[in-house]
Chains A and B, each alone.
Chain A
């Protein structure tokens, strides 16, 4: 497979996973606006911004010593995260980038995948925050669902070649990084509040894990159990373990990359991230440190994958 094409489908999957994840976070957050306390709403915004590694837009009344989230209204924050063109991670930008990568690599994906994604793009292309603000949760739910559809259509129609592997690899790495990032934000923020359970139920809902939690642990919500489920349960599709395992599986399915050292590093890093969770997590005294290590491994994995298959030195490559 052409290296640039592999890179294209990899990024397509990363951007779309990002758009889907952020849509889910915002879907829940705008639901909070209806019936939750101000504290909980602020907590939710902080967690999203921390996860996306972004600062909220400064409002006119912004004062450094005050809580900026209290001053910016929900509309401004949602707009910043959803439609802000200059924010490369906004839902709009992520869908646009995912779709643009797909447009350039249309010959590598199925026609059905393209039509599905393009229809989603045409729907949101001209929207602005005011257009969705009467029922924002409907917009986010639909966007998330369209991305789920895309993944399903890919599963049903895409040829299981190298492009499929790179797409799945991109999706797995993105989801692992986002999940780690959100968990780290949750752990840190919840330590700073009086209410120890604040935000943990929504962590489950974000990862569609509420039912799974009930099945495994019953109805009693305990933060350490939520953390265990979201990090280390291989049966939960969005858990950190499941996503790093998915990345390792896709990597194993690919023939070795021409960048031989980077290829070995990538396989080692995927294995290390998995091993950290499988063997070190159960006895970890500082979960955030271990999660930091997992997060770093996935970031290094990203670099190693590109070095192995895309940006390899030509002198290293055999001629065929």
Chain B
């Protein structure tokens, strides 16, 4: 692989190099091996990997005006490397964070001590559109609100930072496993020599975690994965995970509630369901409680849940903890609930609901990233340094109209990692999304869905916006 044109930028953390042409210790062996691969070998591997995704149908669906199109998330076959020690550090931070967020959720739907003690203003919590009144006073099994979390982590020269806590129905874990399988098959010897930590046990850990939620500890619980259906863009992942955890893949129409218990319709009659790994948003879960026009949910489901007859992973209402305004308070929450200093930093965040933050944001639009509180997937945001004065003026108008709907953050120098572009190595910006499972204990497989902004110079890694995937190798070298 040709690294001769690789542009090293001292202002940006590079995942592979400490300086131009000088690899990090844990990357040296892989770098040398990649560099010595004959030209074209990696291209062939890249083509094979892409083809295998298409043949195996590892796709997401994009709906156009006329027909649906199945697309693959482009994958770059050059792995991103993380030393085991770095991973351990990240892992400890993730565990601390999820403990905190679970305590916060129990509090937010319970006594709201966090408000009474003046840590977070009441309106930030109660005014959040993701706050579910229906969950007030409801207990959840083992106090686990967030069973599956997919935290977006970025790295700069200052270290790892949390960009977003995805606590509702985070997706992407199937790509972590698919990318691993594909890249491992392409770079067999290198993989073996690099002592890469395994991620393929994710399915069995997820199953174990879900089983721990079984109501009343019912042995051998019946698990189902509730999908919005085949038209959902993440349907492949739903199918994949159902298979991995040995659960039936159900839609709302397959379930019904009778006398406070949930049943699924099987070919041998109605079978009681114990644990639902739901990939349907809160709004659509139960038309009797949330949106009454929902056809995706199950009438009466919330009643069964509140009576403790069925477990939902994740619990309804977790969205309040990954709201972009509440996010700004997570470091304070860590100190408040655990009495510890946060191991993982937040990105500095300005809440435009505060007049001084709004003023700062408007004065510095060209340097900031401004996001809508309720949006995700890279939509509705302004990347200041990549915008035109006209776009900024336009954005400022909407910002002034409803400041509480916006936050701003400095434009981060996201770390870069080598990618195969046009036959040679070029740096591209990356992030990573590890998946944190919490049942009786917290479990994290040493790996992540690593996203990469494949467009030169772009900082947007979302697959809907030209992003791709990469395999993340946690190596013990």
Chain A interfacial positions (CB closer than 8 Å to B):
1-6, 100, 103-104, 106-107, 114-115, 118-119, 122, 162, 166, 254-258, 309-310, 314, 317-320
Q: List 8 A-B contacts (CB under 8 A).
A: A3-B267, A107-B239, A107-B249, A119-B55, A255-B268, A258-B267, A258-B268, A314-B270
Report the separation of the CA atoms of residues A302 and B57 in the bound assembly, to the nearest whole angstrom: 30
Residues of B within 8 A of A320 (CB): 268-272
Contact B272 A319 (CB under 8 A): yes
**In the complex, which residue of chain B has the Cβ closest to the Cβ of A121?**
B57
User: How long is the Cα–Cα vector from A106 to B248 in the complex, in angstroms?
Assistant: 11
Residues in B lying within 8 Å of A, measured CB to CB? 54-57, 230, 235, 239, 242-243, 248-251, 253-254, 256, 258, 263-272
Complex Cα distance A71/B248, Å? 52
- Rank and list the top 7 A-B pairs by shortest CB-CB distance, nearest first: A107-B243, A317-B269, A258-B269, A309-B267, A3-B265, A2-B248, A317-B270
Contact yes or no, B249 A114, CB < 8 A: no
Contact between B242 and A319, CB atoms less than 8 A apart: no
Residues of B within 8 A of A119 (CB): 55
Give, as a whole number of angstroms, the nearest-CB distance from B323 to chain A: 34
Shortest distance from the beta carbon of B241 to any chain A beta carbon, whole Å: 9
* Cβ-defined partner of A310 (8 Å) among B258, B267, B271: B267
How many Å lie between the Cα of A320 and that of B243 in the bound state?
A: 23
Minimum C-beta distance from B429 to chain A (A): 32
Q: In the complex the two chains form, what is the Cα distance from A115 to B270 in whole Å?
A: 32
Give how many A-B residue pairs fall within 8 Å (CB-CB). 80
Q: Which of B263, B265, B271 contacts A4 (CB 8 A)?
A: B265
Q: Please pick, from A103, A257, A309, the residue contacting B230 in the complex, using a CB distance under 8 A.
A: A103
How far, in angstroms, from A114 to B230 measured CA to CA in the complex? Answer: 16
Known: A2-B250, A4-B251. A257 touches B258 (CB 8 A): no
**For B251, what are the chain A residues with a Cβ–Cβ distance below 8 Å?**
4
Evaluate contact between A103 and B57: CB separation under 8 angstroms.
yes
- A104–B56 alpha-carbon span in the complex (Å): 14
Tell me whether B254 and A3 are in contact (CB under 8 A): yes
Contact A3 B266 (CB under 8 A): yes
A126 to B249, CA, bound (A): 30
Contact between chains at A118 and B249 (CB < 8 Å): no
Check B243 against A319 for contact (C-beta < 8 Å).
Answer: no
CA distance A314 to B253 in the complex (A): 13
How far apart sit A5 and B263, CA to CA, in the bound complex (Å)?
15
Residues of B within 8 A of A107 (CB): 239, 242-243, 249
Known contacts A106-B239, A122-B55, A319-B258; A2 and B269 CB within 8 A of each other: no
Chain B residues whose CB sits within 8 angstroms of the CB of A257 once the complex forms = 267-268
Residues of A within 8 A of B271 (CB): 320
| Alpha-carbon separation in the docked complex, A178 to B254 (Å) | 31
CA distance A320 to B254 in the complex (A): 15
